[in-house]
Amino acid sequence: MAAKKAAKKAAKKAPKKAGTRKRRGVALQPTELGAQELALATPPPELAALLERVRTDGGAVLATYREPLGGRNLVLVSLPIEQVRPTPFQRDVSDAHVRKLTHAMDKTRRFLDPLIVVQRAEGYETPNGNHRLTALRELGAKAVIGLLVPEADVAYQILALNIEKAHSLREKALEVQRMYRELARLPETDEASHELEFEEPILVTLGFGYEKRGRLAGGTYHPALKKVDAWLPGSLAKTLPERERRADLILGLDDAVNEAVAKLKEKGLQSPYLKNFVVARVNPLRFIKGDLPSFDELLATMTSRAQKLNIEKVGAGDLARSGGGAADDE
């Protein structure tokens, strides 16, 4: 009996084979299409206009196929490079990353990562390939290889699709904010329907904050504010002003925190973590059990506490205990 229990316990602990794990929250049921069923020998009629447009634009259709998860149609195309541009809400190009890509392509003499592209009224846009596109232009390429997606709204799924360079919080938030403005001009949708594109409510609010103050230390406020921000009801055109108002509240808090940091420095305290220290001091959430305050209530409390922070009661030992003193010695 004991042996059977031990065997059962060992079986439970046995690691699953790679690729067989079912991730929590994943509901996708993939198609049953096998490898040989993905190729489309004859393009379906619904792609006719899309393919004709590629040829009219000076490009070529290299292949048509179905992707293996949802069975949706995709087209592998070559396009004149001047026909392709990044979506307008992408992060700014990093010169260092373009330089790295340019040297890699120059060394290998190969371009192996097709861009995802969608058709627009004029030309094509890529939601995930701005750095590669820039590198190709610098190298003098005349054409680019792309995966043409018939569903143009995939252009807004930039954060999920990006494979080039990990986003910082600032980059994520600014891209979300730019997408928000773009989508607010389109037929009415609400924030929750764009959860994949926006990821989390606080990224929207921080994005509007970064738009107004590029050096906002959003990462310092993110852990607390994400607990009290939420998707807003109503169309994006109607909720956009509220997001801007919330961003202004964050900037008000930032002003108060910066003033407290300046006073600590005047007192002779030096650390790259002074802002984190002040925010931790004025954040009441760690002491709250039960219902959390609203976004406005939390911002009002934190701002007031930062403005009233008694600098005379803060010493070097407080910084050290908070984990903010070690960096001074590095």
Query: Which CATH architecture does the domain made up of 44-157 adopt?
Result: Alpha-Beta Complex (3.90)
Q: How much is the pLDDT for 88?
A: 84
Compute how many other C-beta atoms are within 10 angstroms of the C-beta atom of residue 57: 15
Extract the tokens encoding 303: 């701002």
In the chain, the DSSP E strands lie at 60-66, 73-80, 84-86, 115-119, 124-126, 143-148
Q: How much is the pLDDT for 190?
A: 94
pTM (predicted TM-score) = 0.59
Side chain identity at residue 232, one-letter code? L
Q: How many angstroms separate the first and last alpha carbons of the chain?
A: 59
Q: How much is the pLDDT for 326?
A: 32
Q: How much is the pLDDT for 13?
A: 54
CA distance 75 to 60: 10
Q: How much is the pLDDT for 294?
A: 96
Residue 63, helix vs strand vs coil: strand
CA distance 87 to 126: 6
Q: How much is the pLDDT for 163?
A: 54
- For residue 83, give every residue at least 6 positions away whose Cβ sits within 8 Å of its Cβ, in sequence order, or none: 57, 58, 59, 123, 124
Sorted by where each begins, the domain ranges of the chain are 44-157, 169-329
- Segments of the chain with pLDDT less than 50: 324-330
- For residue 88, give every residue at least 6 positions away whose Cβ sits within 8 Å of its Cβ, in sequence order, or none: 178, 182
| Sheet strand arrangement including 73-80 | 60-66, 73-80, 143-148, 115-119, 124-126, 84-86
207 and 240 in contact (C-beta within 8 Å)? no
- Residue 194 dihedral angles phi and psi, to the nearest 5°: -115, 30
Q: How much is the pLDDT for 187?
A: 83
Q: How much is the pLDDT for 324?
A: 45
User: Among candidates 89, 102, 159, 152, which has minimal Cα distance to 131?
Assistant: 102
